[in-house]
């Protein structure tokens, strides 16, 4: 690996001198003991291969290798490394001078200012107390220097730089002085004010969390699915081994002729779209005069390990669309896909419009909508840190044990993308401050994670994320047909969100320039969840950009030329839907003779753990 580096050559010479009196060659020695004395394979190709396999078993994400690659790159550029270390030395002296001034009673500006969005160091004690100020400044200096050094590493592939930076950030966030009792001024103050009760309560929180095997973000006992969550009135009208189909009861005498079919992601449960009357997307749609059907995916078990993406498309979305059409006697349906639900909907649209269709088949979907949906995975947001051969191989090995990916694994991965706000914030508030957990419906839903079947998830990670084959004309084959998103022609309403780190909006915008469809695009403020769950309120809390984006591929140019509108994009979508969902007709019954109501909404699958 690095045998050409001078320090290692010198070390090799020294080892030869030590072994010479015993008549043992370095090659023989390393063949016997290389695994112990040379774990990174610095002296022989054989030991390098063994070490690589060993590293993969204990470090499946390739973290160590990314660090070694960064070190090697810097050692190959000694001049740049020297300049970098010199700057660190200068900044260190500046902090030392600041420390002397603070201890002498002078209030001076921080050499390393705190980011205004960094909640860890906003308390005045971090500036007023010279001890805490020094600790804070040293921490900020070295963490920023380390991260900057990684991202400035010369001659290093971007993928390696991102991986090393991400995993180092996890370490640096974990060792923040705000995460320790004696260096957290709020924790110490609360301990004194409560006579120790805050720390005792924090210990109780820790014990409870240990049973859940996670740092909880929300008091999940405050919410009940079917009670104060997922309580819009409706019935399950169809159940298969893969999903339940819910039809919601109309609340208006007349409804649009064309019903809506909502395809939620199966990496979470559907009720993020039905969070209770005030926030419920489903409740709002029913009140606007739409017949709403929604898929509730089954939480996969080991027996579903062979469930494929083809199954989700044909035995899931297509089957649900045909059933909704039959129950309402409508000519077609309007399908709505959210996140990965939007990806499988896009695949179905390409499947329905494929060139190799045999015979005259009328698509049951004649218009569609996508919410925060990627089709081009060349830049899939921060989740890309987990997308490489080593990580996917590890995930596949994990799934092979169970037949599925446990929901906790996926939830933990997403929390790591925002570890300060989604992990360490709750660590501090739960344990060091001893606070009660918040009662927040979105967080309660977020903690109610689901599993992912082995066959589907492996195919999805490799073909979509790793190889980006969905962008290649006929690069993906599902349901016996080669798919090309460029063949899709049905009118589309697409929504991206400004602060989305899971499906970056500029990436979701790319579909506008890919499909043949006329496209109306919306960019909503906020993120992946709250940008979508944005009910109309007065005065308006949110804003959005909206306009025609047919055939456009330049996201920046589009948003620069599009006015920003106050309010909820739901109202604009309602007007657009009114043009594509037909005239008003008498509201249909819930279910029919062939598809009778089986049980009240939210059904049974959503309750499975």
Catalytic residues: 339
Find out whether 138 and 126 touch, Cβ atoms under 8 Å. no
Which secondary structure element, helix H or strand E, spans residue 3, and what is its range?
Answer: none
The rounded distance, in Å, linking the Cα atoms of 506 and 493 is 15
Grouping H, G, I as helix, E, B as strand and the rest as coil, residue 524 is strand
Q: Kindly give, in sequence order, each residue whose CB lies less than 8 Å from that of residue 231, ignoring residues fewer than 6 positions away.
A: 274, 276, 277, 602
Select from 399, 300, 304, 302 the least CA-distant residue to 608: 300
Q: Is the Cβ–Cβ distance between 501 and 527 less than 8 Å? A: yes
Which residues are bridge partners to 476 per DSSP?
483
The strand pair at 365-371 and 404-405 is best described as unpaired
What lies within 8 Å, CB to CB, of 269 at 6+ separation is 225, 296, 297, 299, 445, 448, 450, 606
Q: What is the rounded CA–CA span in Å between residue 63 and residue 386?
A: 11
> How would DSSP label each residue in 387-456?
-SHHHHHHHHHHHHHHSEE-HHHHHHHHHHTTHIIIIIHHHIIIIIS-PPPP--HHHHHHHS---EEHHH
Q: Is 565 helix (H, G, I), strand (E, B) or coil?
A: strand
**DSSP track, 251-306:** -SSEEESSPEEEE--SSS-GGGG-SSTTT-HHHHHHHTT--EEEEEE----GGGTT
How far apart, in whole angstroms, are the C-alpha atoms of residue 456 and residue 475?
17
């Amino acid at each position: 690996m690095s045998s050409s580096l001078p320090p290692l050559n010198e070390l090799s010479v020294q080892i030869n001198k030590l072994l010479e009196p015993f008549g043992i060659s370095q090659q023989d020695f390393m063949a016997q003991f290389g695994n112990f004395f040379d774990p990174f394979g610095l002296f022989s190709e054989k030991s390098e291969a063994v070490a690589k396999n060993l590293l993969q078993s204990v470090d499946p994400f390739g973290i160590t290798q990314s660090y070694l690659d960064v070190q090697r790159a810097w050692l190959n550029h000694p001049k740049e490394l020297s300049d970098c270390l010199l700057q660190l030395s200068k900044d260190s002296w500046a902090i030392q001078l600041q420390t002397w001034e603070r201890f002498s009673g002078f209030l001076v500006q921080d050499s390393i200012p705190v980011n205004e969005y960094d909640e860890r160091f906003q308390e005045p004690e971090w500036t007023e107390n010279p001890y805490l100020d020094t600790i804070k400044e040293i921490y900020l200096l070295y963490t920023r220097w380390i991260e900057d050094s990684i991202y400035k590493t010369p001659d290093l592939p971007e993928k390696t730089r991102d991986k090393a930076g991400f995993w180092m950030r996890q370490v640096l966030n974990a060792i923040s002085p705000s995460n320790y009792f004696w260096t957290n001024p709020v924790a110490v103050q609360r301990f004194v004010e409560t006579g120790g009760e805050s720390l005792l309560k924090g210990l109780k929180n820790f014990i409870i969390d240990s049973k859940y095997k996670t740092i909880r973000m929300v008091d999940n006992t405050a919410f009940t699915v079917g009670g104060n969550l997922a309580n819009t009135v409706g019935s399950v009208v169809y159940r298969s081994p893969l999903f339940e189909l819910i039809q919601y009861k109309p609340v208006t005498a007349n409804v649009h002729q064309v019903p809506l079919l909502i395809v939620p992601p199966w990496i979470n449960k559907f009720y993020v779209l039905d969070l209770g009357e005030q926030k419920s997307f489903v409740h709002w749609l029913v009140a606007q005069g739409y017949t709403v059907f929604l898929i509730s995916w089954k939480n996969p078990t080991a027996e579903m390990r062979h469930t494929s993406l083809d199954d989700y498309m044909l035995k899931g979305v297509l089957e649900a669309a045909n059933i909704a059409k039959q129950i309402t006697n409508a000519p077609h349906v309007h399908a709505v896909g959210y996140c990965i639900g939007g990806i499988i909907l896009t695949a179905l649209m390409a499947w329905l419009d494929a060139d190799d269709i045999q015979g005259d088949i009328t698509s049951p979907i004649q218009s569609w909508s996508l919410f925060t949906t990627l089709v081009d995975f060349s830049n899939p947001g921060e989740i890309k840190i987990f997308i490489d051969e080593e990580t996917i191989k590890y995930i596949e090995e994990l799934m092979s044990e169970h037949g599925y990916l446990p929901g906790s694994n996926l939830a933990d991965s997403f929390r790591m993308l925002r570890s300060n706000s989604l992990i360490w914030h709750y660590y501090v508030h739960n344990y060091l401050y001893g606070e009660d957990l918040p009662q927040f419906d979105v967080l309660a839903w977020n903690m109610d994670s689901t599993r992912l079947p082995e066959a589907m998830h492996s195919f999805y990670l490799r073909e979509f994320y790793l190889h980006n084959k969905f962008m290649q004309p006929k690069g993906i084959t599902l349901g016996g047909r080669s798919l090309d998103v460029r063949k899709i022609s049905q009118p589309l309403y697409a929504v991206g969100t400004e602060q989305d780190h899971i499906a970056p909006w500029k990436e979701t915008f790319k579909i506008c320039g890919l499909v043949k469809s006329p496209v109306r695009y919306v960019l909503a403020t906020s993120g992946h969840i709250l940008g979508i769950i944005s009910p109309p309120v007065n005065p308006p809390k949110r804003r959005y950009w909206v306009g025609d984006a047919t055939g456009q591929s330049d996201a920046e140019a589009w948003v620069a030329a599009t006015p920003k509108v106050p309010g909820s994009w739901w109202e604009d979508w309602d007007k657009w839907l009114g043009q594509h969902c037909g005239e008003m007709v008498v509201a249909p019954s819930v279910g029919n003779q062939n598809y009778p109501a089986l049980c009240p909404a939210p059904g049974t699958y959503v309750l499975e753990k």
